[in-house]
Amino acid sequence: MMARKIQHLDLDAFFCSVEELLNPGLKGKVFAVGGRPDGRGVISSCSYAARMLGVRSAMPSRQALEICPNLIFVRSDHHLYGEYSRKVMDILRDTSPIVEQVSVDEAFLDVSDMPQPIRSIAQDLQTRVLKETGLPCSIGCATSKLVAKIANDFGKKQVKTGRAPQTITVIEPGDEARFLAPLDIQALWGIGPKTAQFLRSKGINTIGTLAGLNDLEIKQVFGNHGESMRRRAQGIDPSPVQPDEDDPKSISNEITFHEDIDDPDHLLDILRNLSDKVGSRLRKADFAGWVVQIKIRYSDFTTLTRQTSLKECSNLDQDIFDAARELLLNNLIHYRPVRLLGVGVTKLEKPHQQLSLWDDNSNKKQDLTKAVDKLREKFGKDIIKRANSLKK
């Protein structure tokens, strides 16, 4: 079988690059897009000049300002970034029909069917994105998504000029394991900070060491995932590039608090509100989902997502809230302050009305919910409150 040709494209300091297009005076300056340092703001994206001084994305803005007192803060404009993101993704889809967007500024492309060498496809693409949108990007090329992504991250890190890296990093077929071997274990998918810490305590620091563990050792560390982890460590990843569908994959709402909250009842009230919003958005889009997720970010920035399956596909506020509440209560660490809470529903499909025809109860609930939606639309969302959200 011919080796696949997979690319991982990542826009360089995306938000900052868009801001530079709008305001060329920012070019080369030490600046960041994100929250102001006086509140609880966090850096979303920072210029390469700022990175040279130690500023990083996800860093609290206050801390960034301590490291770099003349850091310029630019307010983010996500609507604008969305427009640029769509322009870039359109170019990628024009290059190959098999494009999987993984975030606002990242995507995988499968270009196996194109006859040109993968490096020249990447060069053409990089040039075209820059010419048509003004945005710099970097591309990793390999035989799998895993290695293409790691190659791209690796290539970008080698450039320390204070300017957009605009790298193209190609790992030739057969070189995957050799490329990965010296890299830190945390570069591998599925190894978070905790697992990494554990592995290091056992003297496993590089992907190469991990790849060389025997059957027993790998099972001791990863249990049933041992074999698949070892394959990844050897650079083997058969997962396909999955083109995006027109349907949404999930609908979610989240909120960052102005001040950390540690009161479970207060958190449950907020969770109820988020569940109602998600339910109403699902019904508006005429979707229902099988899986409810919550996201909790604690004051120390550790973030946890948990999910649970519903017995039936649903878009009802109460079903979403019941599942989300159970997840929250099972995962609340006693009075540990929370700074962000989110609720989402995934595994979406069109609700099967014909099935619920036989289920009188569920039909009544649907009708009631629809009536509530209508009233809320007409008179504002606070017109109807449930009995339990009124008592206090």
Nearer to Mg ion among residue 10 and residue 317 (C-beta)? 10
Nearer to Mg ion among residue 114 and residue 159 (C-beta)? 159
Tokens standing for residue 33: 């897009």
> Closest separation between CB of residue 3 and Mg ion, Å?
26
> Closest separation between CB of residue 40 and Mg ion, Å?
24
Nearer to Mg ion among residue 137 and residue 267 (C-beta)? 137
Contact letters for Mg ion, residues 57-96 (x by CB under 5 A): ----------------------------------------
Among 19, 105, 110, 319, binds Mg ion (CB under 5 A): 105
Site residues (CB under 5 A) for Mg ion, limited to 141-170? none
CA Rg, the chain, in Å?
24
Nearer to Mg ion among residue 57 and residue 314 (C-beta)? 57
How many helices (H) and strands (E) are present in the chain, helices listed first? 16, 12
106 is catalytic: yes
Instruction: Please tell me whether residue 19 binds Mg ion under the rule CB under 5 A.
Output: no
- CA torsion sign, 128 to 132 to 137 to 141? negative
Tell me the window of 55-63, 104-112, 244-252, 341-349 that interacts with Mg ion (CB under 5 A).
104-112
> Closest separation between CB of residue 376 and Mg ion, Å?
38
Tell me the window of 10-18, 28-36, 111-119, 291-299 that interacts with Mg ion (CB under 5 A).
10-18
- Distance of CA 40 to CAs 34, 78, 296, Å? 10, 19, 17
Backbone angles phi, psi at 104, to 5 degrees: -60, -25
Which is catalytic among the residues 19, 20, 100, 106?
Answer: 106
> Any idea what the Cα angle at residue 146 is, between residues 142 and 151, rounded to 5°?
55
Nearer to Mg ion among residue 134 and residue 208 (C-beta)? 134
- Taking the C-alpha atoms of residue 195 and residue 215, their distance in angstroms, rounded to an integer, is 18
DSSP, collapsed to helix, strand or coil, labels residue 142 as strand
Q: What is the amino acid identity at position 12?
A: D
> Closest separation between CB of residue 303 and Mg ion, Å?
19
Among 6, 10, 149, 372, binds Mg ion (CB under 5 A): 10
- What DSSP string runs through 328-355? HHHH--TT--EEEEEEEEEEEE---HHH
Q: Which contiguous run of DSSP H or E holds residue 260? A: strand 250-261
Left (φ > 0), alpha (ψ -120 to 50) or beta: where does 90 sit? alpha
> Closest separation between CB of residue 364 and Mg ion, Å?
48
Task: Tell me how many residues contact Mg ion (CB under 5 A).
Answer: 4
Question: Which pairs with CB-CB distance under 8 Å and at least 24 residues apart come from 323-331?
Answer: 323/292, 324/271, 324/274, 324/275, 324/292, 324/294, 325/268, 325/271, 327/292, 327/293, 327/294, 328/267, 328/268, 328/271, 328/294, 328/296, 329/264, 330/306, 331/294, 331/296, 331/304, 331/306
Tell me the window of 6-14, 21-29, 74-82, 277-285 that interacts with Mg ion (CB under 5 A).
6-14
Residues in Cβ contact with 245 at an 8 Å cutoff, skipping those fewer than 6 apart? none
Contact letters for Mg ion, residues 238-277 (x by CB under 5 A): ----------------------------------------
Tell me the window of 15-23, 98-106, 177-185, 212-220 that interacts with Mg ion (CB under 5 A).
98-106
Nearer to Mg ion among residue 10 and residue 19 (C-beta)? 10
> Closest separation between CB of residue 281 and Mg ion, Å?
28
Nearer to Mg ion among residue 106 and residue 110 (C-beta)? 106
Residue pair 341/255 in contact (Cβ under 8 Å)? The answer is yes
> Closest separation between CB of residue 68 and Mg ion, Å?
20
Q: Which residues bind Mg ion (CB under 5 A)?
A: 10-11, 14, 105
> Which sequence positions are flagged as catalytic?
106
